[in-house]
Structures are given as structure tokens and as C-alpha cells.
Structure 1
Amino acid sequence: MIYPKNFESKIGFDEVRAIMKSHCLSTMGKETVDNMTPSDQAMEVNERLTQTREFRLLMEQHDDFPMNFFFDVREAVARIRLEGTHLETEELFDLRRSLETIHRMTSFLRRSDNADNSSEEESTFAYPALARMTDEVKTFPDIIRQTDRILDKFGRIKDNASDHLFTIRQELARTEGSISKTLNSILRAAQSDGLVEKDVAPTMRDGRLVIPIAPAMKKKIKGIVHDESATGKTVFVEPAEVVEANNKVRELEAEERREIIRILTDITAIVRPHVKEILRSYVFMGQIDNVHARAEMAKQMKAIEPAVDNKPLIDWIEARHPLLQSSLEKQGKKIVPLEITLTADKRILIISGPNAGGKSVCLKTVGLMQYMLQCGLSIPVSERSKTGVFQNIMIDIGDEQSIADDLSTYSSHLLNMKNMMRHANNATLLLIDEFGGGTEPTIGGAIAESVLKQFCKKKAYGVITTHYQNLKHFADSHEGVVNGAMLYDRHEMRALFQLAIGQPGSSFAIEIARKTGIPEEVIADASEIVGSDYIQSDKYLQDIVRDKRYWEAKRQTIHQHEKSLEQKIANYEKELQELERSRKEIIRKAKEQAEEIYREGNKRIENAIREIKEKQAEKEATKRIREELKAFEEGMMEAGGKNETDEMIERKMKQIQQRRERKAKRKEEKMKNQPAANTETPAQQPAKDQTEIVKGDTVRIKGLTTVGRVELIDGKMATVVFGDMKTKMRVERLEHAKPVVTSTKTDDRKQLLGYDVSQQTRSAIDSRKLNFKQDIDIRGMRADEALNAVMYFIDDAILVGMSRIRILHGTGTGALRQAVRQYLNTVPNVKAFRDEHVQFGGAGITVVDID
């Protein structure tokens, strides 16, 4: 590929490199950024972009991908190729951690996307492009294990790295401890004699423990003076008693260092045969760091990874210069996106427009973003954009005059034109700013037009900015060349920085001159010099631009309205779907209700037959029952039409429901008016009154005949007196009854004497006492079944006077235990409850104490 001198600096790619390097985690990654070059192979570019896309997805989906310990130990690893050399402790520790990171990264990326598929084909990898990066990479788990044997988690040599080192360090610790005790003893004696200050402590000088004392007192303590403070007010004395011990410490430390070197030499010998593979694995680490930096920069620039066609193509929508976008965002401004198209039919774009209108920015946007793309970097464009590759990118921007080379501005431009014409082909992208400028306009425009013809013959692609009228006309008369204009607001006199392809732009020279305060006389004279035709054509050009802006705005408004209409239609369709779902749900419930009514009809028939058989009803009662069944059957037949619509079924269901309510009301009225035909004695006849039970009512326990009197109502519990026995039970277990009336001789009339317990009831209670068990097992029951069983169990316990019971609910999830204990909290007769002793069941059994 051909790129002219200083190409990267002219388009701003140097700044892009700097941004990317700021996201690197290691020197290896920064080196890959420095060595990054563009490619004209679409497959290679797409591979790089896919790596970035997959890495961005990986970082969003996983937080366990290893991105730490990116240590660069390549120099140390390369050094140990020589026999007899060894890695230092810090180098070995960095090697171990970075090798573990490489091992974890490769294991992660080689992980199959389908756990059931043991094949290692690319299609099975979750991130295939990243997995391909690991093809040549080896990992070294054995070296990691060997290193862990001698290094602790802080990177220090372990005491047990060798038996000899363990012995040395034990002896060293004992000697240092002895020295410390001796020094402290000497120091305390010196402090008591007033030779040393009270807050003084032993310190270290030249690896030896010493005592800091005042210079005047140094002769009071026998020993060696090793050092003095910078002020001269303190000297550091090593007492004679610890000189030998300190000497031994130095010897032990030297022996320890020799043993550590021997250990490091041994481990280095294990690493040495793998130096070449280890260095290659660090290349992989640098590449991963590069992909990470690309992904972070793409996120920062709000860029995407488009698909790249293997042909010259630029069809960018909402393209944004990445550096300008960042700069404007810091100022709180928004960038104006560009839409640029270079295709085989429209290969060369000639951009005209006012000065400072954005022509050069447009040119540099194309150069920088195309170069970034072919380097495999994400670019800030819309996802609807299409991209391709070019073999050569050639640029002519700015003033390149050179005193050393005796080149003027125009000469340098001509030199660039010569090189472009020599190397241009049908896969070349030319970027030329102020085409033909730098010399007399007439000849400059003519030469520029001739050069442009050569570019057309070679079918080169290009973006060219100019003010020359002849180049604007050239685009209208030559195939493959198209005009573009940088828009300008003539009323507000400001550039809009929008590129409009299809017509040339005006330079707005007169308007800008008038805005800057040039006298009107000068402007009129200039207009006369160029002639009315030129002025008129420029005005026509401005009108065209204005009209295009107007109709473009109209088009955008219509497009927005269409989108709004599409959204409303989508909302309406969604609401219709919701209504349809609701209608079907209503019909479904109606049909379920109909089935329930059919089932109820069967139950009614069965109940009617049983009632006729059991009560041996009279003909009138039998007739009434049959009429009710016939009416109910007719209602069911009306609701069961198979060919009726859903709406009719729904309507009939309502009618049937209303008919049922009316019949139930009539039946209730008949039952009230019908006299009770009962031949049983009052004591045997159960009361039919279904009103609420209150204090003083006559009641009986459901299923028993003995009646009693309610003495107290406390919530859902009632205190009832049966003769001379008082008991508490739940209200729902009681029903109304008629009091027992007996005759007395007093006053020769019948009086109510109270309530007595029949022999049958007393025997029933005695039988319950004999058969009552203190335990109830509710394991395996549902919560509602268990609570119902516990409720009757506690009532029976209260009735028979049991003071303590046990409920076996098991441990399990604890839900049954919790439900039972919540219920026990509501029972007034329950005095306390607790877990059973651990030897007898623990938390699986609840012991209940009853008043």
C-alpha cells in the first residue's frame, strides 16, 4: 500500500494511536499499537473487527475474564537462555502470575459454546475469532505448580522451599531473638542509669541491631560505634555483648541468600527449555491487550464494527470525525454527522462551499476513518453504512513548501499530483484539499481540470475540495464525478457543516465580505469586475442550495411523520391483539363456568334422589323437587347450543346465573313458610337457627347431643359450661340447640333448671380421654390439611383436659413448622410452645403447653 510522507499526522491518526495506547494494560500492548499497520485485504480487516466485536460482547456478558497481571518479563526470560543464569524472586513471581493469566485466557477462549459437543471446530466456540488467536499459544501449568512450591502468595521464598533453607531461617530467628533480648536488657539497664532516654528503642544500622545514645554517653556502654545522626546528636552503638551474635546473623543471611540463589537456579533450569514458547505466549498477551484497547476506544468513540466488502466502497451514514466529536463533547456541543458516498458510479466527489464551512474537515474525516477501518479499528458511523477497502490512500493537504528542497506551495502540490497520477488505479483513494490552488487561478484551474481527467481515466476514487468554477462544471459533464456542497445559512450567515451531494456549492464570497464589514463600494466594484453573469450564476447556485435545504427539511418532516404514523399503527395493532386475547380469556372463563354449572346439575339430581329416598317425601314435595330439576335442566339445554356464537353463550350464561339466583331466593322463602314436621323430642331435635353464637346461647358440640350454655366468647374461642364441666373450644365446632326443660314441684310449674351432662356425653368424653394420644403426626400433609388436623387435635386436648401435647411436623423446608406455630399464636388456651429436646426430635417436633 502507498501512503505519502506524514500521512498519519496529517489526518490525525497519531492522536488515535495515543488514545488507544492510553487504554493498554502493558508495554506489550503499546508495542502492538505502535506496530499497527493498515491492510487492503477485506478478510484480514473483518477478522480484526470481529475480534473487537467479540471482545466487547465478552466484557458485557462475563466479568470473570482475566485482565490482570499483564507483566512484561520478556527481557528476563530471554536472559536466562544462558546456562548458569537465574531469575530473581520478583521476576519469577511476575512470570508465574502472567503465565497464569495467559493460561486462564486461553482456557476461557477455547471453551466450547456447546458443553455436549466435544469437537473443537470453530463453530463450537463462543467467541471464534478470539479463539483463533490462541491457536499457536502454549500454556505452562507445570511451571506454575513448580513456582507455587517455592513462592508464597506474596511472592516471597517459602521457608520450606528446601530443608536447608528451613534450618537456616530457624537458626536466624533464634539468633535475632537472642540479640533482641540482650539489647533490651542492656537498654533497660542504660535507661535506669540515665544513660539513655526512656523512649529509645533498638534500631538497625548496616544490617546490625544497635542502640541510639547521646555522644557524651557512648563511652559508658562498651561496644562499636557504627553511625551517627545527621545532626550529630545521636550515635549508634553496637554493644560488645551482641557483636558475635550480629556477626552470626550476617553469616546466616549470606548463607540464606546462597540457598535462595540455588533454589532460583533450579527453578530457572525448569523454565529454560520453554523460553521460545513462553516468548510467543507473551505475543498473544500483547495481542489481547491490543484487542482490549480497540474495544475500549470503540466504546469511548461510540463506534461500531461494520462489515467490510472486498472492493473500493464508501457509503457512510452519520459519519462523525472521532477526534472532533470528542473535542466538541468536552465543550458541550454536538457534532454534525456527514453522509458520504463513493461508489463505482460516483467515484470522485468534488466539494465546494464557503471558507470555514467544513470542506477540509469532511476530507480529513474520510481519510482518518478509512485508514482506521483498514487498521481494523471501529469507526463512528451508523449501522446502515457500507464500507470497503482501498489499495492506496494518497493525500494532498496543507502547505508543504520547503526551503531546503526549494519548493513553493504550488510546486509541492504539483509534485503530489505527479505521484498520484503515477500510482493511481481503480482501487486508489485520493484526498486533495484546495485542488489547483497556490497559483494564478486561470492556469491553476486549467491544470487541475487536466489532472482530474487523468484520475477519471484511471478510474480512481477521490474526495476533492475546490473553489474553481470550471471544476464544478466538470462534474456535471463527466461520468463518475459528482458535485457536493457544504451548506451555508445565508440569512444567519453561518456555516451548517452539512454535506449535500448532487450540486455544487457557492463560496458566498460577497455575503461573507459584506458580513466582515468590507465597504459596499468595494463589493460593488468587485461584482462589476467579475461581471453580472458570474454574480447571477452564483445567486442561482445559492438559490438551488436554499431550495434543496427547504425540500430536504420537508422530506425529513414527512419521514418523521411516517415513522410516527407507523408507531401509532403498531400501537393500535398491539391493542387489538390485547383485546382479542382478553375476549378469548373471557370466553374461556365462561365455558369453564358452564362446565361447573353442568357438574352442579349432576350434583343436584343426585341430592334430589337422595332426599326423596331418605325423607320419603310426600307427593307434593316430590313434585316440587322434580319441577326444580326440570327447570334447571331446561336452563342447561339453553346454554349448551354447540353452534351458537361466543357472544350468545356469554349472554345465556348471565341469564342462567340470574335464574339460579331467583330460584334460590324462592326456595329460601318456601323453607321459611314451610312448617317443621318433626316428631323428635326437643332434646334430640337439632336447632336450625344459623345466627351467630353469642354469650348466653344454648349450644351443643357438632355430632353430640348434650347441650350447654356459652359463658364467654373470646374471638374465635368460646367458654362453654356442660353441667358441672367447663371447657374452651372453637366457635365453629358449636351449633345452636334448644335448652332441656324439666318439671319441678316448686310453684307447680315448669322451669329451666340449667344444663346437665347426659350419661352418653360423659361416656363419650371418658372414651376420648382413654383413647386420646398426646402426639399428632402431620408430616407429608399440605398446609391447609395440617392446620385443620391441628385445630381439632387442640380442641380435643382442651376437652379432655390435656396439659401438654406434641406436634410432629418434621424439619424439611420449615414451611409446615412455621404455619403451625403461626396458628398456635392465635389460640388463647395455648400457654407456650417450643422445640422438643434435640435427643427426642429437636426442631422437627413442637411441644405445646395448654392452660
Structure 2
Amino acid sequence: MNERAIHVLEFQKVRQALAQHASSSLGKEKANTLMPSPSFEKVQIWHEQTDEAATIVRKKGHVPLGGMSDIRPHIKRAEIGGALNPEELSAVALTIYAGQQMQRFTDDLREEGEDLPHLYETIDHIHGLAELRRHIEQCIDEHGAVSDSASHTLGVIRRQRRTTESRVRDKLNQMTKSSSTQKMLSDSIITIRNDRFVVPVKQEYRQAIGGIVHDQSASGQTLFIEPQAVVTMNNELRQLRVKEKEEVERILRMLSGEVAEETEALMTNVSTLAEVDFWFAKAFYGAAIKASRPALDETGHTKLFQARHPLLDSSEAVPSDIELGGDFHTMVITGPNTGGKTVTLKTFGLITFMGQAGLQIPARDGSKIGIFENVFADIGDEQSIEQSLSTFSSHMTQIVDILKEVNSNSLVLFDELGAGTDPQEGAALAMAILDEVHKKGASTIATTHYPELKAYGYNREGVINASVEFNTETLQPTYRLLIGVPGRSNAFDISRRLGLEEDIVAKAADQVGVESHKVNNMILSLERSRKRAEEDKEAAEAHLAEAEALHRSLEEELAQFQEEKERLYQKAEERAEKTLAASRAEAEEIIQQLRTLQKQSQQDIKDHELIEAKKRLEEASPKLTGKKKKPAIPKKPRHQNLQPGDEVKHIPFGQHGHIVAKRGENEFEVQLGVLKVKASLDDLQYVSRPEPVETRPLSVVKGRGQPVKTEIDLRGERYEDALHRLEKYVDEALLSGYPRVSIIHGKGTGALRKGVQQFVKQHRSIKSSRMGESGEGGSGVTVIELK
């Protein structure tokens, strides 16, 4: 990528902001050296990696990357035979621990079924090195010192040293507390000089104390003397310290040798953790600037929705929609100074760099960026006093270099093209440069305040005008980019608003040519037309949304009406069928009584007469239309246009239910027995769709009384009253010919349920019983089969 474009677009500031989100110096190093790539395949992989990290950040909120550090210098020194100090060895152990933490973290993600192929593949390169970490932590304590347990010898030496130190202190304490000695001391304390215990003695008592002088105060009035009584013990202590130092050095050399043996594995761990830290830095940075993953386009077509400059405060930056490519690949942005043209130019270029570096971009979801082989930018005043170059000369030097390298796969950004020289010559030169770059097929955005370039896009294919909106009421730019509308001069309007006399403004207007007036009037007309079109579009979208909401509401109400109608019809027909069954049972009972009378009285009642009587009874029974069988619906694909009322199978639960309502494009509310759950389209399998129920008259069934219900509710009854009602209800159900009924007793303390179950077992007319299923009330209901 062009280094000058990197500089003028301030991509280095994006890298600095990115580095702040890294957990280690390794991640910061990668962030600070990040460069955009011209390779479509590489950029695609980078975005996949960033997206995986962003998914984890969104779901987990953290990543266990603490403890890792750049241990590469330590590893290299150990490899060439150098001894590492305790702090360096601790850093090695902590980095190994960081790798183990990430391994456990990704193992948990695997078990949860997260689809993160890049992360899994990368973490699999980490070596556990548990034995090396254990050995280092056994020898080096949490304070970065070699611990007593590092070796048996070191433990013995340190115990001896502490014992000897205690003896020396005891001896000196006796001296400092002695009344005869205290007057000779400057202070009753024990101190250390040259690694030997001494006491502060007044100058005049030097001979009285005796011993070795190791130091004196600045005034010379106090001497730090090692009394003769502790010289031998101090010598012994010194020898123990030498042995301790030798043993510590031996332990550090041993551990450093173990580190050297794992050089390759440790280097792999470091590079892997640095890469993962870098991915998560990109994810955290994207979340901080409210960025999104862009789609990638190999043809260079860029379409940004609500794009913001990444270095500006997101609450202050004005978002803009920017498009380049497709029908046009050259855009000329015109308008007054301080209107936001340069910010728009930099926003487009910087977002392009971010996208090609694998970073999420500060734009709305659905945006896409083109992948360019190179990006060239001529932005800002590059005047050089040392090189005796004017602003114009400096810009032309850069433009000449750009024209030498630009091709059809380049992005070129020109700021104030042709500025710094005679306006007519500058405008003509700007158009010629644009023609040359346009002819080479490069994607180009140029800003200018030359009025001659306002008509540039009208007579050239693939070129479009744009401007940054300016509010003449507030005298402030809105920073909104208007594609297809060239900028117009607002000097006269601004002057009037600021109080300049009208006759002066009128005289100035007379000096402007007729053609310029026509152009400004044309631009003003375009702006008004655009605003009307935007207002009409917003109104149309609002009406459409309202109509869609009303349509969905009516569909739901219709589905509920059809469901309720079918339920009522089915309930009425079931009641009629049960009444009919009771009538037939009554007829059978009458015939049975006639047979009994025939046998008992030997009357001449013939069989054909009995059959004829039964036929008359059947003819007297009400005739039902009968429920039409629904035609078999062929099994439909799993994914189809599901609608409320459809019977479906909830695949994860393995249960059947029906759709209550549609809550989103691919989300439904499903009734599974007594449960109502939300499910996605992928969780549902279509089973059947209910046929519309035909409305037909029901025959009136005349029985001996009100039909008996197929269930009885005993909840809230006293125990004896409940069993009495139950006994009466079973008799009535038998007379009605019901094959199956439900007894609702509730769960409660279980007393009523046990009583019902005991009654069911003892009743001679009950064939079998079972507890209710999940859709029938569960253990609060007993379903019985009648004989």
C-alpha cells in the first residue's frame, strides 16, 4: 500500500487506537504494524477471524489472555546457554499458563457448539508444557524469588542461615540492652554494614567495645563496629550466604536449561497467543466504535450506509451514505470550504484501509467495501519551504507520481484538485487529470470548489456529481453527502443572513454571469426535488409499515377465528355423537329386556319382531352428518412458508404442536401442550395444515337429559363429597356410553388423588386408568377407560 496515503489518511492513529485494546505487548506490536492487504482472499480470512473474536466478545464479554508477555528475549538467551533470573522464569511460566487458559476456554466453546474454525485451528498449535510450568512454579515463588522448596540443599542452607542470624541478633540484643553498654552506643539498634551485623558505637568508646570497624557516620562521631563476640558467627553467616547464592544459581541454570529444551514449543505459543490477542483487540476496538463487518467486493464497488469517521467521537460525527462503483466509479464533490468535503474524502479512504486490514468498519450493517490493489491520496497542504515548492507545485508533484502508478484496480482521492493556481487554468487542469484517471478505470473521488467542475458529471459516462449539504438558515454545514446533486454557492445567502445590505448583494449578483445563475438555479431545483423525494419516500415507507402491521394483525385474528370455529364445531359434534351413543345403548337395553321377558314368560315374541323393533329405534335416532375425513396432505419440506395454525414438530424437544403466531422473519410462537415457546424456522418441521371447517347445521339430539361431560373436576371438594360425586359420575358416563373420561383432582397434598386412584382400582366397570400426559394436565388428572 502507498505509504503516503497511509500517512495523510491517518491510518497510524487507527492502529494506535487498536493497540490500546490489546492485552499484551505482543498484541500491541502486531496492532502497531498492521497494514491493509490488496489480497481479496487474505482480507476475507482476516474478517472471518475478527468476526469469530467479535462473536465471543458479544456472548462472553471477556477472554482469558491475562499473564502472557513477550518472553522471546528470555527464550533466546536460555537457548544460547544464559541463565534466566527468577522474574524472567516467572514470565515464562505465566505465558505457559495463559496458553493453557486459552485451551480450556476454547474447549468449553467447542462443547457449547460454537462454530469458530479459525480460532480452534490456531489454539490447537499451543503446547501445554505443564511439566515445565510446574517445575518453575515449584522453584520460584509468587514474589519472583527462588523458594526454599526449590531443592533440599537450599532448604537446609537457609534454615542454617536463619538460625545463625538469630544467634547473632540475640547476642547483639544482649549488648544493646545491657546498662553498662547502652551508654557507649549512639542508639540501641542493630544494623548491617558489608553484609555483617554491627552496632552504632560512640567514637570515644571504640576501644571499650572492641571489634572490627566497618563504617562511620558523616560526622565521625559514630562508628559501626562488629563486636568481637559475633565475628565468628558473622563469618559463618557469610559462608552460608555464599553457599545459598551458589545453590540458587545452580537452580536457575537448571531451569533455564529446561526452558532452552522447549525453545520451539515456547516460540510457537508466543506467536499463537500474539495472534489471538490481536484478533480480540480488533473485536474490542470494533465494539468500541460501534463497527460492523462489511461485505467484500472484488470489483471495487463500495457502498457505505451511515458511515462515520473512525477518529471522530461517534456521538458528534455525522453519518453519511457513500457509494462508489457500479454505475459510476468517479465522484466529484463540490461545494464551499469548511463544508465537510475533506472529512467525507478521508472517511471513505480510511474505512477502505480499515476494511482491507481486517477491521470492522464504523458503518451500518449491510455495507460493503471494494478491495483495491493500491490507494493513492493527495490531501492537505504539502507546501515545502526547504524545497522551494508552492502549494500548487507540491500537489502537482504528488499527482504526477500517482498518474505513473494508477491502474484500474486503484482508489484515488484528490482533495481540492487544481487548487493553488489561476482558477480557470486550475479548473481545466483538474478536468484533464480526472479524465486521465477515469480513462485508466481507477475509482476516484475528488473534491473541488471550482464551479466549472459542477457540470463535469453530466456529460461523462461513469462520473457523478455530489455535494455536502449546507443549511442556509443556521449558516452551518450538515455534513450530509448528497450524491447526484452538485454543490451550489451560498455566498449571497450567507451574506444576507449575516446582515449585508441588499443593494450590495444585488450589485455582486449582477457581476455573476448568466450561466452561473442558471447553474445555481438548476442545483437549487435539484436540491428541492431531492428533499421532496426523500419526504415522499419516508411517508411511503411509513404507510407501508402501517399496512404491513395491519395485514399481520388481520391474519392473526383470522387464524384465531378459524381455530376457535373449528374447536367449537368439533366440540358440538363430539357431544352429539356421545348423545347418539347413549341413545343406541338405551335401545340395546330395551331389546335385552324384551329377550328376557320372552324367556321368562314364554310369550310368542319372534326374533324378527325384535330386529324390527331395533330398526325402528335406530330410525328414531337423530342422524348426524358425520365428520368428513380430511384428505391426506403430502409431507412438505422442512423449511416452507409456515403459518399460524400449522401443525409442526419441534425438533430439539421432539414434540408436536401448532404455530400460534409469527414473531419475525424466521421466528414463531409455538404451543406444545401446556407450554408456549419461541422457536426459529430451523427448529420446526412441518406436519400438516388444518383444512377450513365447513359450516353445516347440527342435528338436535334428544336424550333423557343434559349430556354428561367427558371430564369431572373434583378440586376444592371435601374428600367424602368428592368420592360420592365421582361414583355418581362414573355411573352416568357408563349410561352415556363413554369409552374414556378424565377425572381432575389436582396435585395438592395428594390425599384426593390417592382416594381417586383407590376408587378406580376397586370399581368393577373401569377397565384401566393412567395419569394425564403433559398436554392433559399431568399428575393432576387421571384418565380412565370404561368397560
TM-score by length of 1: 0.66
Q: 1:385 and 1:590, CA in 2 relative to 1: closer, same or farther beyond 3 A?
A: farther
Please tell me whether the aligned partners of residues 30 and 278 of structure 2 are also in contact (alpha carbons under 8 angstroms): yes
Please tell me whether the aligned partners of residues 328 and 462 of structure 2 are also in contact (alpha carbons under 8 angstroms): yes
1:317-351 Cα shifts (integer Å, max 9, x gaps): 1111112244xx2xxx4x32211111143000111
The CA distance in 2 between the partners of 1:602 and 1:259, in whole Å, is 106
Find the counterpart in structure 2 of residue 40 from structure 1: 38
Is 1:784 the equivalent of 2:750?
yes
Q: 1:604 and 1:21, CA in 2 relative to 1: closer, same or farther beyond 3 A?
A: farther
Please tell me whether the aligned partners of residues 506 and 538 of structure 1 are also in contact (alpha carbons under 8 angstroms): yes
Find the counterpart in structure 1 of residue 663 from structure 2: none
Find the counterpart in structure 1 of residue 664 from structure 2: none
Q: CA deviation at 1:461?
A: 0.8
Q: CA deviation at 1:550?
A: 2.5
Please tell me whether the aligned partners of residues 143 and 271 of structure 1 are also in contact (alpha carbons under 8 angstroms): yes
Q: Which deviates the most, 425-434 or 237-246?
A: 237-246
Kindly report which structure 2 residues correspond to 1:202-217, keeping only aligned pairs within 5 A, or say none.
207-208=195-196
Find the counterpart in structure 1 of residue 300 from structure 2: 312
Find the counterpart in structure 1 of residue 87 from structure 2: 90
Please tell me whether the aligned partners of residues 295 and 366 of structure 2 are also in contact (alpha carbons under 8 angstroms): no
Q: 1:82 and 1:643, CA in 2 relative to 1: closer, same or farther beyond 3 A?
A: closer
Please tell me whether the aligned partners of residues 312 and 390 of structure 1 are also in contact (alpha carbons under 8 angstroms): yes
The CA distance in 1 between the partners of 2:237 and 2:620, in whole Å, is 110
Please tell me whether the aligned partners of residues 348 and 481 of structure 1 are also in contact (alpha carbons under 8 angstroms): yes
Find the counterpart in structure 2 of residue 81 from structure 1: 79
Q: CA deviation at 1:476?
A: 0.5
The CA distance in 2 between the partners of 1:588 and 1:181, in whole Å, is 103
The CA distance in 2 between the partners of 1:337 and 1:453, in whole Å, is 30
1:441-479 Cα shifts (integer Å, max 9, x gaps): 111111111112111211111111112233222211111
Find the counterpart in structure 2 of residue 670 from structure 1: none
Q: CA deviation at 1:559?
A: 1.6
Q: CA deviation at 1:52?
A: 1.1
- What secondary structure sits across from 2:411 in the alignment? strand
The CA distance in 2 between the partners of 1:12 and 1:657, in whole Å, is 94
Please tell me whether the aligned partners of residues 411 and 442 of structure 2 are also in contact (alpha carbons under 8 angstroms): yes
Find the counterpart in structure 2 of residue 659 from structure 1: 706
Q: 1:577 and 1:195, CA in 2 relative to 1: closer, same or farther beyond 3 A?
A: farther
Structure 2's unaligned 5+ residue stretches are 591-617, 630-691, 710-717, 725-746, 759-787
Find the counterpart in structure 2 of residue 401 from structure 1: 383
Q: Which deviates the most, 231-240 or 487-496?
A: 231-240
The CA distance in 2 between the partners of 1:650 and 1:66, in whole Å, is 71
Q: Which of residues 53, 56, 59 in structure 1 aligns to 2:57?
A: 59
Kindly report which structure 2 residues correspond to 1:717-732, keeping only aligned pairs within 5 A, or say none.
none
1:329-385 Cα shifts (integer Å, max 9, x gaps): 2xxx4x322111111430001111232221111111111111111111110112222
Kindly report which structure 2 residues correspond to 1:559-578, keeping only aligned pairs within 5 A, or say none.
559-577=541-559
Structure 1's unaligned 5+ residue stretches are 116-123, 609-632, 663-715, 717-729, 736-780, 793-851
Please tell me whether the aligned partners of residues 590 and 650 of structure 1 are also in contact (alpha carbons under 8 angstroms): no
Find the counterpart in structure 1 of residue 607 from structure 2: none
Is 1:133 the equivalent of 2:122?
yes
Please tell me whether the aligned partners of residues 445 and 470 of structure 1 are also in contact (alpha carbons under 8 angstroms): yes
Find the counterpart in structure 1 of residue 255 from structure 2: 267
Find the counterpart in structure 1 of residue 744 from structure 2: none
Find the counterpart in structure 2 of residue 101 from structure 1: 98
Is 1:375 the equivalent of 2:357?
yes
Find the counterpart in structure 1 of residue 150 from structure 2: 161
Find the counterpart in structure 2 of residue 418 from structure 1: 400
Is 1:534 the equivalent of 2:516?
yes
- What secondary structure sits across from 1:403 in the alignment? coil
Q: CA deviation at 1:128?
A: 1.2
The CA distance in 1 between the partners of 2:301 and 2:388, in whole Å, is 38
The CA distance in 1 between the partners of 2:532 and 2:248, in whole Å, is 82
Q: CA deviation at 1:173?
A: 3.1
Is 1:476 the equivalent of 2:487?
no
- What secondary structure sits across from 1:446 in the alignment? helix
- What secondary structure sits across from 2:312 in the alignment? helix
**Matching residue's letter, 1:89:** P
Please tell me whether the aligned partners of residues 223 and 238 of structure 1 are also in contact (alpha carbons under 8 angstroms): yes
Q: Which of residues 255, 274, 281 in structure 2 aligns to 1:286?
A: 274
Q: Which of residues 14, 18, 21 in structure 2 aligns to 1:20?
A: 18
Please tell me whether the aligned partners of residues 213 and 234 of structure 1 are also in contact (alpha carbons under 8 angstroms): yes
Q: CA deviation at 1:480?
A: 0.8
The CA distance in 2 between the partners of 1:148 and 1:137, in whole Å, is 20
Kindly report which structure 2 residues correspond to 1:616-635, keeping only aligned pairs within 5 A, or say none.
none
Please tell me whether the aligned partners of residues 639 and 649 of structure 1 are also in contact (alpha carbons under 8 angstroms): no
Q: Which deviates the most, 11-20 or 200-209?
A: 200-209
**Matching residue's letter, 1:659:** Q
TM-score by length of 2: 0.71
Is 1:302 the equivalent of 2:290?
yes
Q: 1:110 and 1:659, CA in 2 relative to 1: closer, same or farther beyond 3 A?
A: closer
Q: 1:249 and 1:527, CA in 2 relative to 1: closer, same or farther beyond 3 A?
A: same
- What secondary structure sits across from 1:400 in the alignment? coil
Q: CA deviation at 1:516?
A: 4.2
Kindly report which structure 2 residues correspond to 1:638-787, keeping only aligned pairs within 5 A, or say none.
642=627, 659=706, 784=750
**Matching residue's letter, 1:163:** H
Please tell me whether the aligned partners of residues 16 and 32 of structure 2 are also in contact (alpha carbons under 8 angstroms): no
1:711-764 Cα shifts (integer Å, max 9, x gaps): xxxxx9xxxxxxxxxxxxx9999x9xxxxxxxxxxxxxxxxxxxxxxxxxxxxx
Please tell me whether the aligned partners of residues 57 and 284 of structure 2 are also in contact (alpha carbons under 8 angstroms): no
Please tell me whether the aligned partners of residues 622 and 699 of structure 2 are also in contact (alpha carbons under 8 angstroms): no
Kindly report which structure 2 residues correspond to 1:795-814, keeping only aligned pairs within 5 A, or say none.
none
Please tell me whether the aligned partners of residues 202 and 223 of structure 2 are also in contact (alpha carbons under 8 angstroms): yes
Q: CA deviation at 1:60?
A: 3.4
Q: CA deviation at 1:508?
A: 1.4
- What secondary structure sits across from 1:499 in the alignment? strand
Find the counterpart in structure 2 of residue 358 from structure 1: 340
Q: 1:135 and 1:784, CA in 2 relative to 1: closer, same or farther beyond 3 A?
A: closer
- What secondary structure sits across from 2:511 in the alignment? helix
Find the counterpart in structure 2 of residue 31 from structure 1: 29
Is 1:551 the equivalent of 2:540?
no
- What secondary structure sits across from 2:237 in the alignment? helix
Please tell me whether the aligned partners of residues 151 and 157 of structure 1 are also in contact (alpha carbons under 8 angstroms): yes
Find the counterpart in structure 1 of residue 778 from structure 2: none
1:378-421 Cα shifts (integer Å, max 9, x gaps): 10112222222111111111111112222111112222222222
The CA distance in 2 between the partners of 1:635 and 1:164, in whole Å, is 112
Q: 1:387 and 1:216, CA in 2 relative to 1: closer, same or farther beyond 3 A?
A: same
The CA distance in 2 between the partners of 1:243 and 1:603, in whole Å, is 123
1:252-309 Cα shifts (integer Å, max 9, x gaps): 2221121111111112122213324423432222222221211111001100122212
Structure having the higher Rg: 1
Q: 1:401 and 1:165, CA in 2 relative to 1: closer, same or farther beyond 3 A?
A: same
Please tell me whether the aligned partners of residues 297 and 370 of structure 2 are also in contact (alpha carbons under 8 angstroms): yes
Q: 1:207 and 1:475, CA in 2 relative to 1: closer, same or farther beyond 3 A?
A: same
- What secondary structure sits across from 1:56 in the alignment? helix
1:664-684 Cα shifts (integer Å, max 9, x gaps): xxxxxxxxxxxxxxxxxxxxx
Q: 1:428 and 1:201, CA in 2 relative to 1: closer, same or farther beyond 3 A?
A: same
Find the counterpart in structure 1 of residue 161 from structure 2: 172
Q: 1:63 and 1:448, CA in 2 relative to 1: closer, same or farther beyond 3 A?
A: closer
Please tell me whether the aligned partners of residues 468 and 480 of structure 2 are also in contact (alpha carbons under 8 angstroms): yes
